[in-house]
Amino acid sequence: MKKVGIIGVGEYLPKKILTNADLEKMVDTSDEWIVARTGIKERHIAAKVEASSDMALQASLQALESARIKPQDLDLIIVATITPDMPLPSTACVLQNSLQAKKAFCFDVSAACAGFIYALTVAQQFIARGGCKNALVIGVEKLSSITDWKDRNTCVLFGDGAGAAVLSEVKSGGILSSYLGSDGSAGELLMVPAGGSRLPASHDTVDKRMHYVKMRGNELFKIAVVTMTHAAQIALKQAGLECKDVDLVIPHQANIRIIMAMAKKLKLCEDKIYLNIEKHGNMSSASTIIALSQAVKEGRVKKGDIILLDAFGSGLTWGACVIKW
Ligand code: UT7
C-alpha cells in the first residue's frame, strides 16, 4: 500500500459577513446568548448567485497551486457536501467542468459535518491501492440556502465556505489512520425533512418550511462530545499514538463548548486546538478542511507535526483522522 498525504490546501470564504448584531435584528436572540452558548460571533454568507461549486472552484484553484498540480493531472475529484448545486449532476462533476479536469472521475459524498473526513478517507484508499495518482478532495457548503432565517434555534449557528485538499503519494508520513462511524437510528436529530424522494418539493412542503434544517441541538450536543472523544481515541490508537503526541487538533467547529468538553476528556491543552468558530460558525463538510487550510497558512502546522482531524454530524456520522504532515 502506498503512503498518501495532503500536498496542498486552499480555502474560500464568501465576502458577506453576517454578525450576531445583524441576527439580533432578524430573530429574538442576542450576541451575549450566541457567544456564551456557541462561541460564534460572525459567519460568512454566500451571494445569491454563488453556488457550492463556485466556492469549491476558488478553494480548489488555491489548493492546486499550493500542490503545484494542474487540473489536467487530477485522476479523482470528491466533493463532500450536503448543499450540492442541484440534485444532479453531482457538484463534483460541475466542478470538474469548471476546472477542465478532464481525466478525473468525480462524485459527491454526503456525510454532513464528517463529510470531509469521509471523502479524504475514500480518496486515500484509491491512491493507496494504485487506482489513481492525484485526488482533489473538497468540503463545501452553502448552508445559508437550507437555513430557516426565522428559526433562532438554528439560524445563528451556520455559515458558508469551501476548503480543498490535494492528495498524492508521499515518501513518508501522510495519513496514518482514519476511523469512520455512523448511526442512522438517530437521524431525526438533525435533518432537512423535504426535497428528496420521501417528500418531494410541493407547495405544502414549502409552506411548512420543510426544506430547512431542523435540529434537536441539546440531544446532539451530548452525543457529539462522547462520539468525537471516542473517534479521536480510536484513530490515535490505530496510528500507534497517544493524545500527548498530537501537535494540533482540528475539530469540527459546531460549538466551542462541545470542543472544550472533548478536549477536557482527552486531557488536551487548549493551545493544541485550532479554533475558527468565532469567525465562521458551523460550515458542516467545509469546517475541518477550511480550518486545516487556515492553520497551514498561519504556520500552525509544520513538517513532521501530528495532526488530528475529528468531526461529528447529521446521519449521524463521525470520523477522525491522524496525519503526519
Ligand atoms: O454540526 C454537528 C451537529 N450539531 C451539533 O453538534 C450542535 C449541538 N448542539 C448545540 O450546539 C447546542 O445545543 C445549541 C447551540 C444548538 C443550543 O444550545 P443549548 O445550550 O443546548 O440550548 P437549548 O437548546 O437547551 O436552549 C436553551 C434555551 C431555550 O429556551 P428555554 O426553553 O430554556 O426558555 C431556547 O429556546 O435557549 C433558547 N434559545 C435561544 N435564545 C436566544 C435557543 N436558541 C436561541 C437563540 N437566542 N439563538
Q: Which CATH superfamily is domain 4-172 in?
A: Thiolase/Chalcone synthase (3.40.47.10)
Asked about 134 being catalytic, the answer comes back as: no
Q: What is the pLDDT of residues 81-129, one digit of tens each?
A: 999 999 999 999 999 999 999 999 999 999 999 999 999 999 999 999 9
- % of the chain exceeding 70 in pLDDT: 100
Query: Which residues neighbour 120 within 8 Å (Cβ) at sequence distance 6 or greater?
Result: 137, 165, 167, 175, 178, 309, 321
User: Residues 8, 65: contact at Cβ < 8 Å?
Assistant: yes
Q: Tell me the domain boundaries of the chain.
A: 4-172, 176-324
- Is cis: bond before 89, omega within 30 of 0? yes
Closest protein CA for atom 23 of ligand 1 = 218
Domains 4-172 and 176-324 share a fold: yes
Q: In the prediction, which pLDDT does 261 show? A: 97
Ligand 1 neighbours, Cβ below 6 Å, are 29, 33-34, 37-38, 113, 152-153, 156, 190, 217-218, 220-221, 224, 254-255, 258, 282, 312-313
238 confidence band (pLDDT: 50, 70, 90): very high
- In a 13 Å sphere around the CA of 182, the CA atoms on its Cβ side amount to 12
Question: Does 282 participate in catalysis according to the annotation?
Answer: yes
Q: How confident is the model at residue 139 (pLDDT cuts 50, 70, 90)?
A: very high
Q: What is the pLDDT of residue 160?
A: 98
* pLDDT recorded at residue 198: 97
Nearest partner of 138 among 60, 74, 76, judged by Cα: 60
Q: What percent of the chain has pLDDT over 90?
A: 99
Tell me how far apart the 2 most distant CA atoms of the chain are, in Å: 56
Q: Which atom of ligand 1 is nearest to the CA of 287?
A: 1
Over residues 283-299, the pLDDT tens digits come to 999 999 999 999 999 99
Nearest CA to ligand 1 atom 3: 313
Nearest to 76 by CA among 56, 61, 93: 93
User: In this predicted structure, what is the pLDDT of residue 56?
Assistant: 98
Residue nearest to atom 16 of ligand 1 (CA): 217
Place 247 in a pLDDT band, splitting at 50, 70 and 90: very high
Question: Could you confirm whether 44 is annotated as catalytic?
Answer: no
Band the pLDDT of 35: cuts 50, 70, 90.
very high
Distance between Cα 19 and ligand 1 center (Å): 18
Mean pLDDT of the region 52-79: 98
Crossing angle for the helix pair 31-38 and 256-266, nearest 10 degrees? 20
Q: Which of 56, 51, 161, 46 is nearest to 101 (CA)?
A: 56
| Residues 212 and 205: beta-carbon distance below 8 Å | no
Q: What is the pLDDT of residue 12?
A: 98
pLDDT band at 135 (very low <50, low <70, confident <90, very high): very high
Please check whether the domain covering 176-324 is classified as CATH 3.40.47.10: yes
pLDDT of residue 288: 98
Residue 28 Cα to ligand 1 midpoint, Å, equals: 13
pLDDT number for residue 263: 96
pLDDT at position 241, please?
A: 97
Q: How far is the CA of 258 from the centre of ligand 1 (A)?
A: 12
Note the pLDDT tens digit of each residue in 192-228.
999 999 999 999 999 999 999 999 999 999 999 999 9
Give the list of residues 6+ apart from residue 86 with CB closer than 8 angstroms, or none.
Answer: none
The ligand 1 atom nearest the CA atom of 153:
44
